[in-house]
Amino acid sequence: MTNPRKRAVETVVNREVIAPKHAGNKVSDYYASNVFTETAMREYLAEDAFKAVREAMRSGKKISREIADSVAAGMKSWAMANGAHSYTHWFQPLTGLTAEKHDMFFTPKGDGAIEVFGGDALVQQEPDASSFPSGGIRATFEARGYTAWDPGSPAFIMEIGDGKTLCIPTIFISYTGETLDFKAPLLKSSAFLEQAALPVVHMFDKEVTRVTATLGWEQEYFVIDEALFYSRPDLMFTGRTLLGESPAKGQQLEDHYFGTIPERVYAFMLDLETEAHKLGIPIRTRHNEVAPSQFECAPMFEEVSIAVDHNQLLMDLMERVARRHKLRVLLHEKPFAGINGSGKHNNWSMSTDTGKNLLSPGKTPKTNLLFLTFFVNVIKSVSEHADLLRAAIASANNDHRLGANEAPPAIISAFIGSYMTNVLDEVEKRVSKGKYDELTNANLKLDIHNKIPDVMLDNTDRNRTSPFAFTGNKFEFRAVGSSANCAQSMIVMNTIMSNQLVNFKNSVDKLVKDGESKEGAIMRVIRQYISDAKPILFEGDGYSDAWAKEAKRRGLNNVKTTPYALDFFLTKKAKELFVKNGIYTERELEARVEVLYHSYILKIEIEAKVLKELVVNNVIPVSIDYMNKLITNIKGLKEVGIVASASKSQKDTLAKIANHVNAISDGVVKLEVALEQAHKAKTTSLSAKAYCDKVKPLFDVIRDNADSLESLVDDATWTLPKYREMLFIR
Ligand code: ADP
Ligand code: MG
């Protein structure tokens, strides 16, 4: 049998570029053609149904059952006119993927069939909930769960090969009403934000009637050839390479960033963009990333729940479109050791229905105060609840990134730039002197608007090492993992900010009641918040050891692994925040964290199994073959009478290989013991910690030895594609 690695490499070298399907067409011709947009609704829905759906989208008003029947009929006609003959409720369970269960429209009637789709099928479905994680909720309550239509997200048609399916965005809840997905709590947190932000906005502007959180994500990913992917069981089953020696030329040359995009990947990107645009996903930018074979794409920002749907859809599309090009997209946070991993920057802000971005500096002193109010409340909320932001990005995958000298550190801090730093200092100084009026009248020296666009939007004032950075008119949360559902961190962001705004309003009201002027009260509270938030403000190098020390001195946490970071969700403070504000019930929160511990355990367990298989079935046999070759050679040299010293180098190599093979075998034995013990731990939380502290370190021992073997053993017989092949052959 030929070496599978050689076969894969040969396949890749001989690949042709597969032409993109719709290259050259105008995007405006097909944009959102697979979405049940307002325009489509106007055409396919009766007047009252259209109005009801629009009301539901804008203000969350309930839709009656009769109207639902009418909406379903219109939706079906639209879907069928566009070639869809089946439908599915589409939702975002806690597995992090999306889920669908397809049903056909047709139903047998007489000796033929008719297509039906009624309000009942639109509004509610019962997927087999037992196959989705629920953190024990189903066991203690009721075995069933159901999906419920979320009219706030438009229905769409997903094309899979030649098939088309109507997808209805839904939330997923247990029979007793507990949320089992990402979407429902996200919607709750958005509603909370609106409710908390409006009274604050009204202090400045009475016209505003809606406030929404906005999200623009930037998605990083790797692309490798399908043939190489299939020759690496670790990539197939865990999404990352568990073994592999770093290539001689990694990203040291930094020549990949913004370099030309390889042709096959470019064709894939064009197809991906077309499919995304048909679904109304506004992706606009594409470029290479820092690591070889790493890329990024980003859309225009949107209202947060739509942006989350779109990111989930995009990740799904990436998989499907890549297959057409014989490529595989790796969404894992750290597919390759020794080079950069992938993240998903979450650009977050808030905007009003009057078109104002609340984190964009204003043109007048009055709007500047509005900006300053929201800006300072953000940093104050982050300083209060930094640990929750850390918990929100925790995953087994992301542990490889955070704090690994490339991605943001595991310490949550905020970067605001030198200009805003000065502004805050100025405010602190003046308010201390009691000069509020001077600050708020027309000669306000905080001419923020004129300076910020130049200063902040200039790359020189960007700090790439900060996990949470102000970038001129939004905050960018950069520590989110590339494969994560953005909702997890957006739920936390919305909730801590809303809670903060409620406190802010209460404090201001109290001062006003005690006789302070409104502006004076606002400035006084802002000043207090500026000093409260100081510990999390950091402008320096987030990757440095000095920062880790300084952060410790400031009392900031530096939790590097998931099972410990998740504990932050269960503190009294966290429970109070989420429960009091109606985002989760206590049981929901506990169940959710249980699911996260469990998913951590599963990931490490699978990695352990795959690693063991790779070393036992690949690395060790190939190494032993090579040892036999060396032995034969050494014996042969002796037979023909060559002096023993001439075979010294072979003997040395032989000894080294034997040592590494033994070390791996030892490692595997220890791994089995550690796995068994971790499995037996009393609670899921303790078990996750044992997997983290006792099982995972053994991966490194095994890997080090296996990677040394890779550099000792004959290249011609090594069976696993090497880093240089996966990263540089296209
Ligand atoms: P970068 O230099 O980080 O690439 P960009 O200006 O290209 O910055 O924006 C990155 C992302 O931020 C884009 O997805 C963009 O839509 C998003 N973004 C811009 N403004 C906002 C906003 N007000 N709210 C949320 N996201 C925003
Ligand atoms: Mg960015």
For the stretch 301-316, pLDDT in tens is 999 999 999 999 999 9
Q: What is the amino acid identity at position 535?
A: P
Q: What per-residue confidence (pLDDT) applies to 220?
A: 96
Is residue 507 lining ligand 1, measured as CB closer than 6 Å? no
Ligand 1 midpoint to CA 537 (Å): 22
- Strand-pair category, 145-149 with 302-303: unpaired
Q: Which ranges of 21-172 would DSSP assign to H, the alpha helix?
A: 27-30, 38-44, 47-59, 65-81, 119-123, 137-140
For residue 585, give the 3-state DSSP assignment: coil
The CA distances from residue 436 to 449, 501, 533, 534, 625, in Å, are: 20, 21, 20, 21, 81
Q: How far apart are CA 435 and CA 513, in angstroms?
A: 20
Instruction: Count the residues in the chain.
Output: 730
Q: Is the distance from the beta carbon of residue 299 to the nearest atom of ligand 1 less than 6 Å? A: yes
| pLDDT tens-digit readout, 720-729 | 999 999 988 7
> What's the half-sphere exposure (Cβ side, CA atoms, 13 Å) at 158?
25
Do the Cβ atoms of 624 and 661 come closer than 8 Å? Answer: yes
Q: 76: Cβ below 6 Å to ligand 1? A: no
Listed range (30-44, 123-137, 405-419, 541-555) with the worst mean pLDDT? 123-137
Q: What percent of the chain has pLDDT over 90?
A: 70
Most confident of 101-105, 465-469, 670-674: 670-674
User: 214 CB under 6 A from ligand 1?
Assistant: yes
| Whether residue 125 has its Cβ less than 6 Å from ligand 1 | no
pLDDT at 438 over 60: no
What is the number of alpha carbons within 13 Å of residue 421 lying toward its C-beta? 15
Q: 222 forms bridges with which residues in the sheet?
A: 294, 330
The closest-lying atom of ligand 1 relative to the alpha carbon of residue 347 is 26
Q: Is the pLDDT of residue 448 over 60?
A: no
pLDDT of residue 352: 97
**Which residues neighbour ligand 2 (ion) by CB within 5 Å?**
345
Question: What is the average pLDDT value for the chain, to the nearest integer?
Answer: 89
Least confident of 6-20, 91-105, 469-483: 91-105
CB-based contact 529:414 (threshold 8 Å): no
286 lines ligand 1 (CB under 6 A): no
Report phi then psi at 669, rounded to 5.
-65, -45
Site to substitute for ligand 1 among 474, 476, 489, 497, most atoms within 8 A of C-beta:
474
Distance from the CA of 523 to the center of ligand 2, in angstroms? 31
- Tell me the CA–centroid distance for residue 347 and ligand 2, in Å: 7
Per-residue pLDDT tens over the stretch 50-85: 999 998 887 778 888 889 999 999 999 999 999 999
Stated pTM of the model: 0.93
Q: Which residues contact 679 (CB under 8 A, 6 or more apart)?
A: 687
Point out the ligand 1 atom lying closest to the alpha carbon of residue 348: 25
Taking residues 40-54, report their average pLDDT. Answer: 95
- What separation in Å is there between the alpha carbon of 478 and the centre of ligand 2? 8
The residues, any chain, with a CB within 8 Å of residue 217's CB and separated by 6 or more, are 298, 299, 307, 311, 344, 345, 346, 347, 480, 486
Structure tokens given for 708: 């040394």
Q: Is 304 in the pocket of ligand 1 (CB under 6 A)?
A: no
Asked which of 361-365, 448-452, 590-594 is least confident by mean pLDDT, the reply is 448-452
pLDDT for res 120: 87
* Model confidence pLDDT, tens digit, residues 325-356: 999 999 999 999 988 899 999 999 999 999 99
pLDDT at 199: 98
What's the pLDDT score for residue 133? 66
User: Using a 6 Å cutoff on CB, does residue 104 contact ligand 1?
Assistant: no
Residue nearest atom 11 in ligand 1 by C-alpha distance: 216
* CA-based max dimension of the chain: 105
- Spacing, Cα 644 to ligand 2 middle (Å): 62
458 alpha carbon – ligand 1 mean position (Å):
14
Residue whose CA is closest, atom 26 of ligand 1?
A: 216
Local confidence band at 21 (pLDDT 50, 70, 90 cut-offs): confident
Mean pLDDT of all residues in 459-481: 85
Q: Say if residue 455's pLDDT is above 70.
A: no
User: Quick check: 112 pLDDT over 90?
Assistant: no
All domains in the chain, ordered by first residue: 31-181 (3.10.20.70), 190-584 (3.30.590.10), 599-728 (1.20.120.1560)
CA 345 to ligand 2 centroid distance, Å: 6
With 90 as the cut, is the pLDDT of residue 500 above it? yes
What confidence score (pLDDT) does residue 556 get?
96
pLDDT at res. 111:
85
Among 145-159, 350-364, 491-505, which range has the highest average pLDDT? 491-505
Q: Is 216 in the pocket of ligand 1 (CB under 6 A)?
A: yes
CA-CA-CA-CA torsion sign (176, 166, 116, 41): positive
End-to-end alpha-carbon separation of the chain, Å? Answer: 25
287-301, 432-446, 480-494: least confidently modelled range? 432-446
Query: Residues 299-330, buried b or exposed e (16+ Cβ, 10 A)?
Result: bebbebbbbbbbbbbbbbbbebbbebbbbbbb
CB 702 within 8 A of CB 667: yes
* The pLDDT of residue 585 is above 60: yes
Q: Report the share of the chain in percent with pLDDT over 70.
A: 90
Contact in structure between 547 and 411 (CB atoms under 8 Å): yes
What is the identity of the amino acid at 324?
R
Beta carbons of 300 and 332 less than 8 angstroms apart: no
Write the residue with the smallest CA distance to atom 8 of ligand 1: 471
Q: Residue 511: CA atoms inside 13 Å, Cβ hemisphere, count? A: 17
Give the pLDDT of residue 397: 96
Binding site membership of 298 for ligand 1 (Cβ less than 6 Å): yes
Give the helix/strand (H/E) hosting 102: strand 99-104
Ligand 1 atom closest to Cα of residue 351: 23
**Could you tell me if 725 and 634 are in contact, meaning their C-beta atoms sit under 8 angstroms apart?**
no
What is the position in ligand 1's atom list of the atom closest to the CA of 300? 16
Written in H, E and C, the secondary structure of 424-450 is: HHHHHHHHHCCCHHHHHCCCCCCCHHH
Q: What is the pLDDT of residues 385-394, one digit of tens each?
A: 999 999 999 9
User: Do the beta carbons of residue 413 and residue 538 sit within 8 Å?
Assistant: yes
Task: Tell whether ligand 1 has an atom less than 6 A from the beta carbon of residue 462.
Answer: no
Distance CA 544, CA 557 (A): 15
C-alpha 381 – ligand 2 centre gap (Å):
22
**143-147 long-range Cβ contacts below 8 angstroms, 24+ apart:** 143/175, 144/174, 144/175, 145/172, 145/173, 145/174, 145/175, 145/180, 146/172, 146/173, 146/175, 147/89, 147/91, 147/171, 147/172, 147/173
SS3 292: coil
Q: How much distance in Å is there from the Cα of 479 to the middle of ligand 2?
A: 11
- Cα 421 to middle of ligand 1, angstroms: 22
Tell me the backbone φ, ψ of residue 155, rounded to 5 degrees: -70, 160
| CB 301 near ligand 1, within 6 Å | yes
Which residues sit opposite 104 in a β-bridge?
86
Instruction: Note the ligand closest to the C-alpha atom of 285.
Output: 1
Q: How far is the CA of 602 from the centre of ligand 2 (A)?
A: 32
pLDDT of 604 reads 98
Q: Give me the amino acid identity at 352.
A: T
Predicted local distance difference test score (pLDDT) of residue 728: 84
CA–centroid distance, 305 to ligand 1, in Å, is 16
Give whichever of 11-20, 432-441, 706-715 has the largest mean pLDDT: 706-715
Q: Ligand 1 atom 14: the closest Cα is on which residue?
A: 216
Q: Which ligand is nearest to the CA of 303?
A: 1
* pLDDT interval class at 323 (50, 70, 90): very high
Say how many Å lie between the CA of residue 538 and the centre of ligand 2: 18
630-689: pLDDT as tens digits:
999 999 999 998 888 888 999 999 999 999 999 999 999 999 999 999 999 999 999 999
Buried b (16+ CB within 10 A) or exposed e, 414-450: bbbbebbeebbeebeebbeeeebeebbeeeeebebbe
CB burial of residue 59 (10 Å; 0-12, 13-18, 19+): exposed
More confident residue, 256 or 220: 220
∠514-368-436 over CA atoms, to 5°? 35
Q: Which residues pair with 343 in a beta bridge?
A: 481
Based on the number of CB atoms within 10 Å of its own CB, is 458 exposed (0-12), middle (13-18) or buried (19 or more)? exposed
Residue 468 CA to ligand 1 center (angstroms) comes to 14
Q: Give residue-wise pLDDT tens across range 253-285.
A: 445 544 567 889 999 999 999 999 999 999 998
Report the nearest atom of ligand 1 relative to the CA of 301. Answer: 16
- Phi, psi dihedral angles at 357 (to 5 degrees): -85, 120
Q: Among 295, 301, 456, 460, say which to mutate for ligand 1: greatest number of ligand atoms within 8 Å of CB.
A: 301
Write the Ramachandran bin of 339: left for phi over 0, alpha for psi from -120 to 50, otherwise beta.
beta
Q: Which pLDDT score is estimated for 347?
A: 97
Ligand 1 pocket, residue 215 CB under 6 Å: yes
- Evaluate whether 542 touches 405 at the Cβ level (below 8 Å): no
Bridge partners of residue 211, in order along the sequence: 352
